[in-house]
């Protein structure tokens, strides 16, 4: 299989879940990172400068041989299966994993759809409400969010929280996770995995801080 993951040169969860799945599964892939200038053209025309079709004019996109796949969830599930981070034959586990990917999408949309100048205390309250709900929905007794199944949902939550606590989102304080025990516990666990450390050392920008501790 010839695989190319297309996104920006930034460790955002929408792409990281799939990049890490491919890395963890030892699947060779091209980690194609485009500039914001090229992305402006993609938004307009739906093609990369090299002619690759970007069907919904959005990123991430995955190219597998001659087939292009769009949408974070679809791409994550495909790559997750290659890494045994998503089940091939267990619909119930799969659905439980999906629900966590989907709530991260909801929170991401909540943030990205709010203009920086409109981020007041209600904005922060609504983010905290979502984190409170996510924390409450997490499994208290098991190692990972879905029972003992290490999955793309764990990597997605960790990566999402890297972004959320990184100090780069206007009006979101770095210590926003401090009251959410289960989220923090999971993030520390994922952060301490050798494979994650390897990936972080290999690809993360030096100044990209994570605040789980
Ligand atoms: N529903 C898409 C949303 C992806 C998305 O919003 N990507 C952003 C970059 S992080 C984007 O392409 N924004 C431009 C646009 O939506 O036109 C997914 O789940 O992948």
The values of phi and psi at residue 33, to 5°, are: -120, 120
Report the DSSP beta bridge partners of residue 154: none
Query: 54-98 pLDDT, tens per residue?
Result: 999 999 999 999 999 999 999 999 999 999 999 999 999 999 999
Task: Judge if the beta carbon of residue 71 lies within 6 A of ligand 1.
Answer: yes
- Helices of type H across 47-203: 72-82, 91-112, 121-137, 152-164, 181-191, 194-203
Q: Whose CA is nearest to atom 12 of ligand 1?
A: 58
The residue assigned the tokens 């402006």 is 40
Q: Which among 22, 58, 32 has a CA at the least distance from the CA of 43?
A: 58
Domain boundaries, the chain: 3-82, 91-203
Query: 126-152 pLDDT, tens per residue?
Result: 999 999 999 999 978 888 999 899 999
pLDDT of residue 200: 95
Q: State percent of the chain over pLDDT 70.
A: 100
Contact 105, 72 (CB under 8 A): yes
| Sheet containing strand 67-70, strands side by side | 30-34, 3-8, 61-64, 67-70
Instruction: Please report which helix (H) or strand (E) contains residue 36, including its range.
Output: helix 36-45
Q: Whose CA is nearest to atom 1 of ligand 1?
A: 71
Q: Ligand 1 pocket: which of 8, 14, 19 to mutate (most atoms <8 Å of CB)?
A: 14
pLDDT of residue 139: 74
Rounded Cα distance between 183 and 177, Å, is 7
pLDDT, the chain, mean? 96
CA of 79 to the centre of ligand 1 (A): 18
Rounded Cα distance between 46 and 94, Å, is 31
pLDDT of residue 210: 82
CATH class, range 91-203? mainly alpha
Say if residue 213's pLDDT is above 80.
no
Confidence of residue 189 (pLDDT cuts 50, 70, 90): very high
CA of 58 to the centre of ligand 1 (A): 5
Confidence of residue 208 (pLDDT cuts 50, 70, 90): confident
Task: Count the residues in the chain.
Answer: 213
CATH of 3-82, one of 3.40.50.10860, 3.40.50.10190, 3.40.30.10, 3.40.50.2300: 3.40.30.10
Side-chain half-sphere exposure of 76, counting CA atoms within 13 A: 28
CA diameter of the chain: 49
Q: Calculate mean pLDDT across residues 182-199.
A: 96
Rounded Cα distance between 54 and 46, Å, is 5
pLDDT of residue 11: 97
Q: Ligand 1 pocket: which of 15, 42, 59 to mutate (most atoms <8 Å of CB)?
A: 59
CA of 110 to the centre of ligand 1 (A): 13
Q: Whose CA is nearest to atom 18 of ligand 1?
A: 71
């Amino acid at each position: 299989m010839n695989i190319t993951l297309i996104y920006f040169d930034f460790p955002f969860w929408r792409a990281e879940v799939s990049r890490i799945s491919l890395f963890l599964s030892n699947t060779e892939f091209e980690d194609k990172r485009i500039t914001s200038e090229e992305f402006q053209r993609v938004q307009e025309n739906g093609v990369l400068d090299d002619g690759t079709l970007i069907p919904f004019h959005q990123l991430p996109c995955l190219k597998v041989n001659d087939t292009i796949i769009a949408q974070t969830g679809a791409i994550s599930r495909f790559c997750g299966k290659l890494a045994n981070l998503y089940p091939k034959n267990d619909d119930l586990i799969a659905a439980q994993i999906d629900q966590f990917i989907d709530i991260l999408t909801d929170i991401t949309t909540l943030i990205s759809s709010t203009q920086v100048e409109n981020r007041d205390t209600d904005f922060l309250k609504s983010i905290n409400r979502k984190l409170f709900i996510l924390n409450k929905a997490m499994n208290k007794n098991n190692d990972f969010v879905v029972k003992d199944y290490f999955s793309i949902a764990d990597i997605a939550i960790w990566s999402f929280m890297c972004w959320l606590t990184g100090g780069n989102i206007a009006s979101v304080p770095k210590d926003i996770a401090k009251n959410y025990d289960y989220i923090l516990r999971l993030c520390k666990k994922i952060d301490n995995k050798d494979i994650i450390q390897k990936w972080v050392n290999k690809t993360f920008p030096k100044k990209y801080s994570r605040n789980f501790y």
